Structure 1
Amino acid sequence: MTISYFGYGSLVNVATLPDHAEVTPGTLDGWVRQWSIAGREIEGHGVCSLCVVPRDGVAIRGVMAREPRDGLERLERREHMYDKVDGIGERFRCDAQGASGPNDMFLFRAKPRYYGWGDAENPILQSYVDCVLKGFHDFWGEEGVRHFIETTEGWHVPILADRDSPRYPRAIVLSDSLRELIDDLLADHGVAYLP
């Protein structure tokens, strides 16, 4: 028995998944990605995290991950600020074959009590952005990084430059070239950093 779920943020970075997870890149119709979980505490600090909300006429890239069902409890602990939304498989299309996902495919959506835009007290962590965008770059190159930035709402939320002392628990180290690409694209998009 397996579970299948759609990753649209850090779950796109396979380094954050179990080694035995099978990952298929693709597109999900009818959902938009946002920086709109505020107040999550990491080491006593508020932060802003990613979530998705339904919206007709849009699509986002991400991955379908499959793993044994006994991994569900671990996954739900990781995503404890989110509710499962089942039955999204027909809205997913694999990049390679265009096939849809299984009927029982699910995603994680913010629990209502956590939903809200971040702010200076609940910033986006640069170390989190790096982890997410490394995953998008691994699957789709520079175009994937651009897609994430352009299709994600909430870049008015300031970013905390914690790259040198990361607060994000799944922080990764970027190559010099990828770090420069991410920083340049975010600057072009007009993101703001906390002083």
Structure 2
Amino acid sequence: MTITYFGYGSLVNTDTIPAATETVPGRLSGWMREWKVCGEGEDGQGRCALTVREQEGVEIRGIMAREPRTGLKDLELRERRYHKVEAIGAKFRCEAGQKPGSGDMFLFKAAPGHRRWGTDTHPILQSYLDCVLAGYFRIWGEEGIDHFIETTDGWHVPVLQDRDRPHYPRKIVPGPVLADLIDGKLAELGVSYLTPDEKV
């Protein structure tokens, strides 16, 4: 018995999911990412993560992931600020062969109690963003990062510069070249930054 889900943020980075998980890159039509799910980590730091909303005419890249059903409990704990949207496979197309997704495929969307734009007290963690963009870069290169930026709303939300002391539990350490690429892309967007000492 397995579960199949669509990853569009940190789940795209295969370093954050079980090693035995099967992943297939593809596109999901009719959805848009946004920085609109807020909560606090175990360390008490407020944070803003990614969610999605339905939007016609938009396609987002991501992965179809399949793992044993025994992993569902841990996955739901990880995505505890979200609820599942079932049966989205017909909207997914694999990049190789354009095959549709599995009929039991689901995604995680922000639960109503957490669905709000990030703020100074609930910023985007740079360590989380590094993880997400490293996943896109690994599969699609710089084009993947550009696609992610273009198909994500909410870049007015500030970014907490926690790369040196990460708050995100599934942090990755981008190499100098990737870190410079990410920082350059964010500079082009004009994102505002908070330093750890400035957090409210």
Shared fold (TM-score greater than 0.5)?
A: yes
How far apart are 1:97 and its partner, in Å? Answer: 1.1
Give the alignment of 1:38-57 within 5 angstroms: 38-57=38-57
SS in 1 for 2:24: strand
Give the alignment of 1:81-100 within 5 angstroms: 81-100=81-100
Does 1:161 pair with 2:137?
no
Q: What is the distance in 2 between the residues matched to 1:91 and 1:107? A: 12
How far apart are 1:42 and its partner, in Å? Answer: 4.1
Percent identity of paired positions between Structure 1 and Structure 2: 57
Q: What is the distance in 2 between the residues matched to 1:121 and 1:41? A: 12
How far apart are 1:156 and its partner, in Å? Answer: 0.2
Structure 2: where are the runs of 5+ without partners?
Answer: 196-200
Q: What is the distance in 1 between the residues matched to 2:194 and 2:51? A: 22
Q: TM-score scaled to structure 1, two decimals?
A: 0.98
Q: Is the 8 A contact 2:39 2:81 kept in 1?
A: no
Q: Is the 8 A contact 1:39 1:118 kept in 2?
A: no
Count, aligned residues:
195
Amino acid at match of 2:31: W
Structure 1: where are the runs of 5+ without partners?
Answer: none
Q: Is the 8 A contact 1:40 1:49 kept in 2?
A: no
Query: Which 4+ stretches in 1 moved above 2 angstroms?
Result: 39-42
Q: Which residue of 1 aligns with 2:106?
A: 106
The RMSD of aligned alpha carbons is 0.8
Amino acid at match of 2:33: R
Q: Is the 8 A contact 1:4 1:64 kept in 2?
A: yes
Q: TM-score scaled to structure 2, two decimals?
A: 0.96
Give the alignment of 1:20-169 within 5 angstroms: 20-169=20-169
